[in-house]
Each structure stands twice: as structure tokens, then as C-alpha cells.
Structure 1
Amino acid sequence: MTEISCGIDFGTSNSSVAIANQGTITLTPVEGSHVTIPSALFFAQDGNIPSYGRTAVTMFFERREGRFMRSLKRVLGTSLMKQGTIVNGKLMKFDRIIALFLRNLKAKADAYTGHEIENVVMGRPVHFIDNDADADSRAEQELRDIARSVGFRNIEFQFEPIAAAFAHEVKITGEKLAIVADLGGGTSDFTVIRLSNQNIRKTDRTTDILANTGIRVGGNDFDKDLSLAAIMPEIGYKSTYGDKHLEVPLKPYHDLAEWSKVNFLYTPKIITQMRQLLNSSHDRKRFSRLLQVLEQERGHALLAVTEDTKIALTAQSQYNTPFDFLEEGLSIPIQREQFEEAIRYEVDKILDSVMQCLREAQVKKEDIDLVILTGGSTEVPLIQSEFKKLFPNAALADENKLSSVGLGLAYDSQNKYQYR
């Protein structure tokens, strides 16, 4: 019998590792004492080994010379995997970049257990890519190949919402019909499943899983919507230029609002184009801020204040978003209502996917006994209120939002590798 296995939740925003060892499930410290780590890397210009997680974020915001990368999971299955990107003057493929991050996670797990772990269950969204089965299969295979390259011999996959359900199942008495909503940085996934603590050691849960649905919408999309609605106008978004009062190009703003695309904007060609537009801009003050962001490569700072604003608006109704990295003393007040209006379309898509999951499971919303919310985006008040409205009779479980998927993957690894 294999003694040790693990589950890895490689997330768009945060990642975690949990260990299954002789019936005990534990989260592994992956950055100091933290059991979660931001899915981020920083390649310093003066070194060969990247920094990870909070250290990477700190180095970037300290304006160290180098290349910062985040939201790498969203690259899986896309054409960017083959294209690669320039890191400190050299082309680097994304499979190597993701492998560096996963190798760091594995090293922490190996050191924690004192063993070379060979068995892993990797979490995956229900759909890496919406409405593209080939790209979805390609994304899983790419992640499988990367996991093998860092030293795992036996690699299985499990849908992230199912893993979250497994993590909560140990605390359930009796049997409950549950829906799991896993709202991460890049995807939102849903599972209707029958849960019972009598099922924990069942190796085949096919008959308990009634339906899975998912969409490529998550917290990063909320950030983008908020940015375009309330923040980008302060750097000239939708302003006009020239005698014909044409709207300025929107693509640079949309790319600035996505972690995975912002690095591609700092090119001489794009900066030259924006300088030319500034000469005939009708809002030179704000549009000049866009040029400042591009010239000083402050796109990630813009993304960071957007994310901070989103987080602040979960607890308060208004937040003064600071722009002092552009102009000393500059800030703009943003209301929670602005945020909720900006993300309404995405929230409706999430709710549509929830209803699709119920239809495919052939259950009514009144039949649901338990709603399990996991993933950082479930903190958003509008999400909380919509789920309570949709399932007024169900109990709501939302503890361990950032680590329940990792824990559940470890439970699943135990069933797949140790109890079979």
C-alpha cells in the first residue's frame, strides 16, 4: 500500500498542496507558515531562479528589475502555450514557467513529509476553455505533462468543485444533497452531489455525482469589469481624439485589465502609437496617465489597486482607490453599487450555469440541502446574496474558502492511491 499521496490545487490566483498520509489529511506550508501561495513568479534580472508567491509580489511592487507573472493557469490550452513570452530578454515557454511554479510546490510537500511524493491528484476546472473540447483536452494534457516533468509518476485529475465537496463531506452527518460553487480567479464551477460521511472511503463516486457545469468566469473577470467601469476612465478609457472625435483604441485598456496580457503592452510600437494619439487627445490629462502606465510599466500596479478595491468593497460600501503611483495624492471614490453594476453580466452567467447544473442533475433548487461556497470570489456580497436568494432553505457552508479544494484533492488521492 502506498503511504503518501497529495492533492495540488493549482489556481489562477492562489495555490495549495495537501498531503494524505496513513489516513491523515494535512495542508502543507507552502510559503513560510502560509498554507496557500499566490500563483505568481518574479524573474529578477540579476538571477536565474525565480521567486514565488508573496515574495514575488513584494519584489515586483518594490520596483525590482525583472519580469512578474501571474494568472498562468489561464494560458493552458491556448495558443500562448506554444508562443511563449520574453523573460528578461530571452524567450521562455509557458510549460517551463508553470513547471517552475509546480516544482516549487512539490519541493515544499516533499520537504514537509520527508519523502519524494510520486502520487498526485491535480485539480482542474470543469472547463479550462469554454465551448472547445479540443482545447480543454489539450489543457489537461499540458498540465499532466508538466506534473510529470517535475517528478510525479502517477497523475490523476479531479474537478475542483467535487474536491471541495469531499473536503466538507467529513463533517456531514446523515446524507445531504449539495451543490458546490467553486468561484476562483479564472473559472466558476458547479457540482450537484450526494454527500455522506459514510462515503468517504468509496473509490467510485460516479453514482453520487449528479451533474457538473462550469464557465470561464471568475474573480479576474470581476477585476476587469470593475477596472473598465470605474478605474480605466481615469486614464482616458473611452475618451476621444482628433477632428472626427474618434474613440481612442480600447484594446490597450482591455489588455491592461488582465494579468495574463498586461506584459505584452510594453512595446515601442504601442507606446509610439499612444504618444501620437496624445497630441490630438481631447482629454490630455487622463490620456497622458495611460502613456505613463505604459512607459513606466505600471500595469500591474493598476491591476493591484483594482483587486484591492474589489476586496475593500466586500466589507464597505465605498472605497477611495489610490492612484498615488501615478500622481501624488490622487484617489477616486468608488461605490459598491458601481462594482455590482459592473459585474452584473458575469454574475448572471454564473447563475445561469448554476441553473444548468440543477437541470442536468434533474433536481429542483428546493431539493438542495447544502450550498458549499469555495474560492475567493464567493466573498463578493452580490454573490453571497444571490446564492442565499436562490437557495433560501439550504444551509450554507463557506469555511476554508481558499484551501478546501486542496484538502478535497488529498482526500481523493487517498481513495485513488491508498484504498484501492
Structure 2
Amino acid sequence: MTSVSCGIDFGTSNSSIAVANNSNISLVPVEGTSVTTPSAMFFLRKGNVPFYGREAMHQFLTRQPGRLMRSLKRVLGTPIMKQGTMVNGEHMKFDQIIATFLQNLKEKADFQAGTEIENVVMGRPVNFIDNDPEANLRAQDELAKVARLLGFKNIDFQYEPIAAAFAHEVNVSGEKLALVADLGGGTSDFTVIKLSAKNIGKPDRTEDILANTGVRIGGNDFDKDLSLSAIMPEIGFKTTYGTKNLEVPLRHYYDLSEWSKVNFLYTPKIISQTRQLLFESHDKVRYGRLLQVLEQETGHALLAVTEETKIALTDSPSYDTPFEFIEEGLSTQVTREQFDIAISQQIEKVAVAARQCLADAHVKAEQIELVILTGGTTEVPAVQAEFRSLFPNASIADENKLSSVGLGLAYDSQNKFR
């Protein structure tokens, strides 16, 4: 009897699922014809009806009443996971919320497979949370619990960069010493691995995997740094107030720069404090925009234009970031140079993790023959430049950035559940 299995890449920013059925391994269309979907949910206020992915973002951006949720993966392993959250007046646990999102993917995979899939390899970062082994174990256990809620009976895990390597291995000629850089929305993970097409069917690849490292830095952190550098000043960040010229409280701006924290700002207390401080503000126009954002609950729109700006700066040296949702005709020009400066410290931390992976593998940079770049954050020009500088002798493989992990997890599931 043939065992059907699947791989699930539950990402901070984007997610995918792939099915292994006999020798056929393929990604599943999860939103229209697309094999990836934004890791976003929108609960329509009326009936708490959930929407997923691009449709969730559309519902939110067209100002439908409800609650948007993104970056749910970053909750795993943290105290927030146990606390749960209020969704349109109803308390919901995060394992239920994550399970609801992933169930949407599983139903499409079951339909493609023609059966209910019971075997899964879940992707995971090398570190969900830096320097906290207990939190890492707890995060994996929480993700396993979610998988059981979905009806999976046999559950295994694989590091995401290793999965990306498996997806690329089918195209490798001969044997290559490779470094995989998986830079997603929440984490940056690295693997040094020996790749060869003849090894694709091996159930145990331990001897081929030389080292793994990871750091809790990803595209969301780049968004945050860009937001604080170029976006938040337009709504009063670092302006002053009062007779002593004090800087306005910055905590709200930091929270407005993170998807997972925005919804906690729309409280009567915070809005009242901001309104009171506006009377003493030295820049009532800009600081008044902060009050407007809080009162109208448009913090996610700020994050959306920040992400839009980051993506635009991938191809253009500058971009006029629009703030139409705040004020008609309002915009600010952001340059790629500003962006590069804003994220320079984060890129250096990512590079340190990559170099540590080489050291742990007892490999020199010039020995790496292939660098596999996966994850949407590898599109950032400064990231591309950093890795080309680190590995000048290596070939660069960067196709299927958003789907290679899901595909590789399905390859791994076929070997583990045959």
C-alpha cells in the first residue's frame, strides 16, 4: 500500500504545502493558481468568518470590519501563545487560530491527493527563538499539537534550509558542497550540506549535513527598521513635547512597526494618553497623525505601505511611499540608500550566522561551490550583495524562493514515510 505524505512550510510571511504521492511530488495550488499564500488571516466581524492569504489582505485593505492577523509563526514558543487573543470580542487560543489557517491548506492537499493525508513533515527554523533551547522545544511541541489538531497521525520535522536543499538537489550534477541561506519573514537559517542527485532517496542524510545555524532576524525586522527610519517620522516619531522638550514616548511606534503587536494599541487608555500629549506636542501635524492612526485603527495599513516600499526598492533607487489613508496627497520619498543604512546592522548579524555555520562545518567560504538563496528576504539587493561578497567563487541558485522549502519538505516526507 502506497503511503501518501506531505510537507508543510508554515512561514512567517508566506506558506505552502506539497504532496508526495507515489513518485509524484508537487506543490499544491493553495490560492487560485498560486502555490504560495501570505500567512495572513482576516476574521470578518460579522460571524467571525475567516479569510486567508491575499483575500484576507484584500478584506483588510478595503476597510472591512474585522481583525487581521499576520506573523503568527512568531508567537510559537512565546508566553503570548498560551494567553491567546480577543478576535472580534471572542477569546481565541493561538493554536486554534494557527490550526484554522493550516486546515485551509490541508483541505486543498487532501483534495489533490484524493485522500485524507495522515503523514506530514513540518518545516521549522533552526531557532524559533535565539539562545533559548526550552522555548525552541516548546515551539516545536506547539506546532506538533497543531498538526494533530489537523488530523495528522505521523508527524516529523525538518529544518527549513535543509528542506530547501532537498528541493534544489534534483538539479545538481555531480556532488556539490552547498550553503543554503533561507531568509524568511521571521528567521534567517543556514545549512552546509553535501548535495548529489544520487542521494535524493536516502532516508538518512545525517552524514551529508555538516552544520546548521539560525538567527531570529528576517524580513519583518527589515520592515521594522525601514518603518522607524523612514515611515514613522511622518507620524511624529522622535518629535518633542512640553516645556522640557522631551521626546514623545517611542514604545507605540515600535509596536506599530510589528504585525504581531499592532492590534494591542487600539485601547481607550493608549488613545486617551496620545490625545492628551497632542496638546503639548511641538509638531501637532505629525503627532496628530499618530492619534488618527490609533483612532481609525490603520496601523496595519502603515505596515502594508512599509512592505510595499521595501519591495519597490528591490528594483528602484527610490519610491514615493503613499499615506492616502491618513491624508489625501500625503507621501514621502524613501531611497534605497536609506533602506540599506536602516538594515545594515541586521544584515551583519545575518552574515555572522552564515559565517558561524561555515565554522561549525569546518569549511572555508572559498570551498562552497553552490549558494542556495531561498525566502523572500533574499530579494533585497543588500542581502544579495552580501552573499555574493561572502562566496565569490560559488554559483548562486535563487529560483522558487517562496516555494522551495515546501517542495523539499515533501521530498523528505516521501523518504521518511515510504
Shorter-chain-normalised TM-score: which range?
Answer: over 0.9
Distance in 1 of aligned mates of 2:364 and 2:47: 56
Instruction: Say whether 1:316 aligns with 2:316.
Output: yes
Report the AA paired with residue 11 of structure 1. Answer: G
Instruction: Say whether 1:22 aligns with 2:22.
Output: yes
3-state SS of 1:120 partner: strand
Cα deviation for residue 34 of structure 1 reads 1.0
The answer for the alignment partner of 1:167 in structure 2 is 167
Give structure 1 regions of 4+ aligned residues with deviation exceeding 3 angstroms.
none
Instruction: Say whether 1:74 aligns with 2:74.
Output: yes
Cα deviation for residue 112 of structure 1 reads 1.4
What is the CA deviation profile of residues 210-232 of structure 1, one whole-angstrom value per residue up to 9, with x for unaligned ones? 00000000000000000000010
Distance in 1 of aligned mates of 2:120 and 2:47: 31
Distance in 2 of aligned mates of 1:177 and 1:357: 13
Deviates more, 1:104-113 or 1:254-263: 104-113
Kindly report which structure 2 residues correspond to 1:122-141, keeping only aligned pairs within 5 A, or say none. 122-141=122-141
Distance in 1 of aligned mates of 2:142 and 2:45: 28
Report the AA paired with residue 388 of structure 2. Answer: K
In 2, are the aligned partners of 1:76 and 1:142 still within 8 Å (CA)?
A: yes
Cα deviation for residue 32 of structure 1 reads 1.3
Cα deviation for residue 111 of structure 1 reads 1.1
3-state SS of 1:185 partner: coil
Report the AA paired with residue 408 of structure 1. Answer: G
Report the AA paired with residue 134 of structure 1. Answer: E
Distance in 2 of aligned mates of 1:233 and 1:338: 13
The answer for the alignment partner of 2:104 in structure 1 is 104
Cα deviation for residue 47 of structure 1 reads 2.2
What is the CA deviation profile of residues 107-140 of structure 1, one whole-angstrom value per residue up to 9, with x for unaligned ones? 1101111110000000000000100000110000
Report the AA paired with residue 398 of structure 1. Answer: D
Report the AA paired with residue 14 of structure 1. Answer: N
Cα deviation for residue 93 of structure 1 reads 1.0
Report the AA paired with residue 395 of structure 1. Answer: S
Report the AA paired with residue 368 of structure 1. Answer: I
In 2, are the aligned partners of 1:2 and 1:417 still within 8 Å (CA)?
A: no
Extract unaligned runs of 5+ from structure 1. none
The answer for the alignment partner of 1:234 in structure 2 is 234
TM-score (norm 1): 0.99
3-state SS of 1:310 partner: helix
What is the CA deviation profile of residues 244-291 of structure 1, one whole-angstrom value per residue up to 9, with x for unaligned ones? 111111110000000000000000000001001100001110000000
Distance in 1 of aligned mates of 2:228 and 2:235: 10
3-state SS of 1:258 partner: coil
Q: Percent identity?
A: 70
Distance in 1 of aligned mates of 2:47 and 2:169: 45
TM-score (norm 2): 0.99
Distance in 2 of aligned mates of 1:306 and 1:281: 25
In 1, are the aligned partners of 2:83 and 2:93 still within 8 Å (CA)?
A: yes
3-state SS of 2:29 partner: coil
3-state SS of 2:249 partner: coil
Distance in 1 of aligned mates of 2:342 and 2:181: 21
Question: C-alpha root-mean-square deviation of aligned residues, in Å?
Answer: 0.6
Kindly report which structure 2 residues correspond to 1:231-310, keeping only aligned pairs within 5 A, or say none. 231-310=231-310
Distance in 2 of aligned mates of 1:238 and 1:133: 36
What is the aligned residue count? 418
Report the AA paired with residue 161 of structure 1. Answer: P
Cα deviation for residue 3 of structure 1 reads 2.8
The answer for the alignment partner of 1:49 in structure 2 is 49
Distance in 2 of aligned mates of 1:232 and 1:363: 42
Cα deviation for residue 99 of structure 1 reads 0.7
What is the CA deviation profile of residues 339-390 of structure 1, one whole-angstrom value per residue up to 9, with x for unaligned ones? 0000000000000000000000000000000000000000000000111111
